[in-house]
Amino acid sequence: MAHGSQGAIPATARRSEPLSGTVRIPGDKSISHRSFMFGGLAAGETRITGLLEGEDVIATGNAMRAMGASIRKEGDTWIIEGTGNGCLLEPKAPLDFGNAGTGCRLTMGLAGTYDFETTFIGDASLSARPMGRVLDPLKLMGVQVKSVEGGKLPVTLRGPRMAAPIHYTVPMASAQVKSAVLIAGLNAPGVTTVTEKIMTRDHTEKMLAGFGASLDIETDADGTRHISIEGQPKLKGCVIDVPGDPSSTAFPLVAALLVPGSDITILNVLMNPTRTGLITTLIEMGGRIDILDARSAGGEDVADLRVRHSELKGVVVPPERAASMIDEYPVLAVAAAFAEGETVMDGIEELRVKESDRLAAVAAGLRLNNVDCTEGEAILTVRGTPSGRGIGSARGDAVATHLDHRIAMSFLVMGLASEHPVTVDDARMIATSFPEFMDLMAGLGATIECGVEEPA
Ligand SMILES: O=C(O)C1=C[C@@H](OP(=O)(O)O)[C@@H](O)[C@H](O)C1
Ligand SMILES: C=C(OP(=O)(O)O)C(=O)O
């Protein structure tokens, strides 16, 4: 699972014929992580269909196995026998989360309060990301933390005899921090409350309620949410059908908007309002996206999307929308490169602490491919060229992806509509969140080749 710079597999995307066809997007990554975690914790059987089988989620499954859950697959269904809440076992070896921030941070919340030692490790990207945001509230609950300077991996946690419930205000917009504290609250007597000033994805709240936890959510007039969870609940296994990932959907969706003549349909996309900021933004830009058969499935909003090639116009994306499209900014920046005028993305400081510094990586990739942009501390402005003329690299210069799957996929989408090809230095990380990406895009008619570029 560990990917270093050795063995990198570059990939090149070229201007493509119109994209067409109907595709089903693999399961949502956020819900898949939580399905393994809560299924592994709850008593009895959890059955999951539609699970994302990406490397990130498999790492979470392995961690749950290491703490006593039994996980197997029969046909298309993952079947989990959980330990029962409060009954996780001490893992015998460090838990390796590879590239996955979500798996690592949520499991810190899950295992950290137990009166045993858990060590967390990951790849070079994850080892450079800040863990202090989760370690700080865990310390307040009585958890002992060992880590290198600045709260980076490897981290070792040891919980107290009995964790203390807390009231914690999350300092940044982060579903991972919110979730880690709520999950830690499962193993503390009394009520744990998390306050978030900006609503982030609410899968933890919804899913824990589905597993039998008792939650109370109050929302202030300004949108601030106070989420309280009753400690030490009995959690019971349940049945989950994971809807398609809107963050993965973003790639074929933007590709179809950009490649002239395209008309595609994407089935079964999660439309939870905490995840739809990109669709809202692209429709504002003039994107022809039809939301078809909007329905409710397993407590979530789901729809099919018909997407046609569109003439896009630049917009100002409001900062308060950032949380609902946080992983989609790299591919939005690519859409903006083909839009008329300027697109301004503000309030995106959190992009600096993802799998890479995405603000810097996107700006560098845009410049390398002749797209005019300005990078500020928490803002990116992109000036587009609707025809795609001049965009790309005739010399085959490769975008540096820094072990970041979304940077790789975003720039491959760019190459499908640009005058010159676009090359990324490493496509391997795509398997962390969207292993089917290459096949799915090829099925729509996209021209993407993997492997070393032959010199011209
Ligand atoms: O809770 C989650 O499942 C996620 C939360 C977000 O991270 P932050 O909480 O760090 O914003 C997002 O970027 C990540 O891909 C998945
Ligand atoms: C930020 C992401 O994931 P994680 O934080 O789980 O590594 C992502 O998938 O874009």
Ligand 2, atom 8, residue with closest C-alpha = 327
Same domain, 206 and 272: no
The whole-angstrom separation of Cα 153 and Cα 146 is 9
The whole-angstrom separation of Cα 190 and Cα 163 is 10
Domain final residue pick, 197, 212, 241: 241
Same domain, 152 and 255: no
Q: What is the pTM of this model?
A: 0.98
Same domain, 370 and 442: yes
Same domain, 183 and 58: yes
Average pLDDT, rounded, for the chain: 97
Annotated binding-site residue numbers for 3-phosphoshikimate: 29-30, 34, 174, 176, 327, 354
Question: DSSP of 176-219, one letter per residue?
Answer: HHHHHHHHHHTTSSSEEEEEESS----HHHHHHHHTT--EEEEE
Does residue 204 have its Cβ closer than 6 Å to ligand 1? no
Span 131-179, pLDDT tens digits: 999 999 999 999 999 998 889 999 999 999 999 999 999 999 999 999 9
User: Can you list the alpha helix ranges (DSSP code H) found in 50-131?
Assistant: 55-66, 101-112, 124-127
Distances in Å between the Cα of 6 and the Cα atoms of 3, 142, 409, 426, 433 are 8, 41, 20, 10, 21
Ligand 1, atom 15, residue with closest C-alpha = 327
- Work out whether strand 117-121 and strand 95-96 pair parallel, antiparallel, or are unpaired: parallel
Q: pLDDT above 70 covers what percent of the chain?
A: 98
What CATH number corresponds to the domain at position 367? 3.65.10.10
Same domain, 257 and 355: yes
- Work out whether strand 342-346 and strand 316-317 pair parallel, antiparallel, or are unpaired: parallel
Same domain, 187 and 251: no
Span 391-414, pLDDT tens digits: 999 999 999 999 999 999 999 999
Scan for tokens 């790309």, then name that residue: 392
Ligand 1, atom 14, residue with closest C-alpha = 102
* CB neighbour list of residue 75: distance below 8 Å, 6 or more residues apart: none
Query: What does the radius of gyration of the chain's CA atoms come to, in whole angstroms?
Result: 21
122 C-alpha to center of ligand 2: Å? 13
Q: Which ligand is nearest to the CA of 198?
A: 1
**The sheet that has 167-169: what strands, in order across it?**
167-169, 191-196, 225-230, 215-219
Domain count, the chain: 2
- How far is C-alpha 425 from the geometric centre of its chain's CA atoms? 21
Same domain, 338 and 394: yes
- Largest distance between two CA atoms of the chain: 67
Question: DSSP of 132-166, one letter per residue?
Answer: HHHHHHHHHTT-EEEEETTTEEEEEEE--SSPPP-
Instruction: Please give the positions annotated as active site.
Output: 327
Closest CA to 417 of 384, 374, 376, 381: 384
Q: Could you tell which of 29, 38, 174, 178 is best to mutate to test the pocket of ligand 1, judged by most ligand atoms within 8 Å of the CB?
A: 174
Same domain, 19 and 80: no
Confidence tier at 1 by pLDDT (50, 70, 90): very low
Span 214-273, pLDDT tens digits: 999 999 999 999 999 999 999 999 999 999 999 999 999 999 999 999 999 999 999 999
Same domain, 370 and 225: no
Annotated binding-site residue numbers for phosphoenolpyruvate: 29, 101, 129, 176, 358, 406
Q: Which ligand is nearest to the CA of 270?
A: 1
The whole-angstrom separation of Cα 318 and Cα 48 is 36
- pLDDT value at position 451? 84
The whole-angstrom separation of Cα 422 and Cα 258 is 14
Scan for tokens 């760019």, then name that residue: 414
Mean pLDDT over residues 346-374, rounded? 98
Q: Could you tell which of 354, 407, 429 is best to mutate to test the pocket of ligand 2, judged by most ligand atoms within 8 Å of the CB?
A: 354
Does residue 359 have its Cβ closer than 6 Å to ligand 1? no
Distances in Å between the Cα of 212 and the Cα atoms of 21, 68, 106, 109 are 40, 20, 19, 18
Which is more confidently placed, 148 or 35? 35
107 C-alpha to center of ligand 2: Å? 14
Same domain, 186 and 290: no
302 C-alpha to center of ligand 2: Å? 22
The residues pairing with 344 across neighbouring beta strands, listed in sequence order, are 316, 381
Q: Could you tell which of 38, 194, 247, 326 is best to mutate to test the pocket of ligand 1, judged by most ligand atoms within 8 Å of the CB?
A: 326
